[in-house]
Amino acid sequence: MNKLLASACALLFSAALAFPGTALSQTDPGVRGGPINGQPGATQSSPLPLASVNANAPTGILEFFDNGLGRFQEQEVVSGGTNNGLGPRFNLNSCSGCHAQPAVGGSGPANNPEFQVITQAIASGSTNTLPSFITAHGPTVEVRFPFFTNSNGSPNKNAPNGGVEDIFTVSGRADAGNCSLQQPNFQQAQQNNNLIFRTPTPTFGAGLIENIDESTLLANQQAQAANNFGIGGAFNRNGNDGTIARFGWKAQNKSLLLFAAEAYNVEMGITNEIFSQERPLPQEEQGAGLPASCLNLSGHGYPEDATNFTVASNSDQAAQNAQVPSDIVLFAEFMRLLAPPVPSTNAPGGAQSISNGFALFKEIGCSTCHTPAIRSTQPSNITASLGNVTVKAYSDFEIHHMGSGLADNVSQGGAGGDQFRTAPLWGLGQRIFFLHDGRTTNLLGAIADHRSNGSEATQVAENFASLSAGQQQEVLNFLRSL
């Protein structure tokens, strides 16, 4: 053996030691380039609506979509401006700041807007500090404390919490009067391993998800019942009417309207016609609530977002009509009417690789939960493109036990601390952060994290690990084509 060959062998051996169990070549291709959402004509600030909405059928619907898009991007202030009601606690001052990748309505962007909240004076730097886990290019997150704390600050494992701990307060802003609030003690929570993160879920195609009948989901569950991958699954049922809830990381929200209203209240502190009171932190709620000096900061009473009974007259009747609903109604309408992402047929890796990757995705069991196509939506009384269509969301909308490695110890509705909704994968190719807490930007890491003690996905992750490097690459190419 000559020296060159020996050196090459030694290098390969070293590489194998450095990456045991993995071949040398498979890599996540990263965020796919090309048209936003695979839709020519879409821009970051102007995602495309469904085809029938784009055709303005029924008449006036396009105006509602556009108005909703505008409101989704509005910057809220506390008082004295055009859009009031921010706070007293909040994570950001607009929907589109967090739901930004690859376009308005999407998931967290590359540049974390929370990192800029103080520098842009959305929160006062004299009364707010940036927690260490909010980084310039890290995931955009909301924070939850799984447990309430004892008087000495240690987590009380007998007292589950799980509510959102808003990062910022309006205290110190010129438009926030004398409201004085402290931020939650993130440092202490971090030291006690008592905080978890959630990233924004993308909303493209959300109207199709909302319009799937119960029977269709139940039939899909039954069809997957006899699998050889160790997968069970259950539905998170709405506590009021018993039907299947389907939005949010734990499928805890029943409808887009509820989802929008809750986010408006929780993430931005804006009361509305579904959540009519200012929201204290969970620990404040157990005490005296918010101080009077932090209530009605807008000066207009509650709810801060309400139906607009009087609107400016407009010769365009549709434009006038679209001004009437409250923000949450038009947020929901905007999300409902957003077109689903269009997968690429040839990028990355070429058509054959993507096709093989899709076959492998199904063969090794990913599709048992990440159902490629659910047929079909209910007839729609809103617009034609919502009705009788196949939903290629790559989700069964069930909740599954994902094991101790992913568990966040937060219970929502019927979902326990280790159960999560099968994350829809449409649009995955242009997402940056993966898993509920955005812990990774690498699909290989996301797949590996599917296996841990108590996970239903361990067998499938094992099957992925059993593939050759070339086959794994094809799966990754397929995923990034979505």
Partner 1 sequence: MIPLLLRLLVFVAASLLVDAAAHGAAQPGPVPAGLILVKGAWSSAAGTSTSLPEDGTISNGRYDNAYFGLEYAVGSDWTQRYEGPPPSDSGYYVLAQIEPKDSALAATTGHILIAAQDLFFSLAPVHSAPELIGYFQQHLSAEYRVERAPTRVRIANRDFVRLDYVANVAGLHWHVLATEIRCHVVQFVFTGSSPKSMERLVASMNTMIQPGGSAPLCLKDFATPATVLERVDPVFSEPRFNPVPVRIVIDKEGRVKHIHFLSAFPEQAKSIEEALLQWRFKPHLLDGQPVEVETGLLFGRSARPSTAALH
User: Residue 112 in contact with residue 134, Cβ under 8 Å?
Assistant: yes
Q: How far is the CB of 452 from partner 1 (least distance, A)?
A: 6
User: Closest CB to partner 1 among 155 and 303?
Assistant: 155
Q: Does 285 bind partner 1 (CB under 8 A)?
A: no
Spell out, one character per residue from 296 to 335, where the chain touches partner 1: x when CB under 8 A holds, - when not: ----------------------------------------
Question: How many beta carbons lie within 10 A of that of residue 478, not counting itself?
Answer: 26
CB-side exposure of 128: number of CA atoms within 13 Å?
27
Q: Binding of partner 1 at residue 287 (CB under 8 A)?
A: no
Cα–Cα distances in Å, from 87 out to 79, 295, 343?
Answer: 10, 9, 38
Residues in 122-181 that interact with partner 1 by CB under 8 A: 146-148, 150-152, 154-160, 162
Q: Is 193 in the site for partner 1 (CB under 8 A)?
A: yes
Least distance in angstroms from the C-beta of 155 to partner 1 = 5
Pick from 285, 258, 253: nearest CA to 272? 258
Q: How far is the CB of 279 from partner 1 (least distance, A)?
A: 21
Q: Compute the least distance from the CB of residue 357 to partner 1, in Å.
A: 9
Residue 8: what are its φ and ψ, rounded to 5°? -65, -45
Distance of alpha carbon 454 from the chain centroid: 24
From first CA to last CA, the distance across the chain in angstroms is 47
Q: Collapse the DSSP code of 157 into the 3-class scheme (helix H, G, I; strand E, B; otherwise coil) and give the result.
A: strand
Q: State the minimum distance, in angstroms, from the CB of residue 459 to partner 1.
A: 6
Q: How many residues bind to partner 1 according to rule CB under 8 A? A: 73
Question: Residue 399: which of 262, 259, 260, 245 has the closest Cα?
Answer: 245
- Which lies closer to partner 1 via its Cβ, residue 341 or residue 349? 349
Contact partners, residue 270, CB within 8 Å, separation at least 6 = 76, 85, 86, 264, 304, 305, 327
Task: Indicate which single residue of 128, 185, 380, 458 sits in contact with partner 1 (rule: CB under 8 A).
Answer: 458
Residues 335-394 contacting partner 1, CB under 8 A: 356, 359-360, 362-364
CB-wise, 55 or 465, nearer to partner 1? 465
Q: Which of 194, 211, 326, 344 binds partner 1 (CB under 8 A)?
A: 194
Q: What does the alpha-carbon distance between residue 275 and residue 278 come to, in Å, rounded to a whole number?
A: 8
Q: Interface with partner 1 by CB under 8 A: which range of 69-77, 80-88, 126-134, 447-455?
A: 447-455
Q: Is 282 in the site for partner 1 (CB under 8 A)?
A: no
Among 417, 427, 429, 438, which residue interacts with partner 1 (rule: CB under 8 A)?
417
DSSP readout, 333-385?
HHHHHBPPP---SSTTT-HHHHHHHHHHHHHTTHHHHS-S-B--PPP-SS-GG
Q: Cα–Cα distance between 112 and 474 in angstroms, integer?
A: 31
Restricting to residues 96-115, name those near partner 1 by CB under 8 A: none
Choose the binding region for partner 1 from 65-73, 104-112, 417-425, 430-438 (rule: CB under 8 A): 417-425
Stretch that binds partner 1, among 50-58, 262-270, 376-384, 412-420 (CB under 8 A): 412-420
- Are 50 and 234 spatial neighbours (Cβ–Cβ below 8 Å)? no
Q: Which of 278, 305, 418, 437 binds partner 1 (CB under 8 A)?
A: 418
> Which x/- pattern, by CB under 8 A, does the window 206-245 give for partner 1?
------------x--xxx-xxxxxx-xxxx-xxx--x---
Figure out which of the listed residues 71, 451, 480, 482 binds partner 1, where binding follows CB under 8 A.
Answer: 451
What span, in angstroms and rounded, lies between the C-alpha atoms of 455 and 364? 16
Give the 3-state secondary structure of residue 158: strand
Pick out residues in 4-33 that bind partner 1 (CB under 8 A).
20-21
Q: Tokens in use for 22?
A: 């993995």
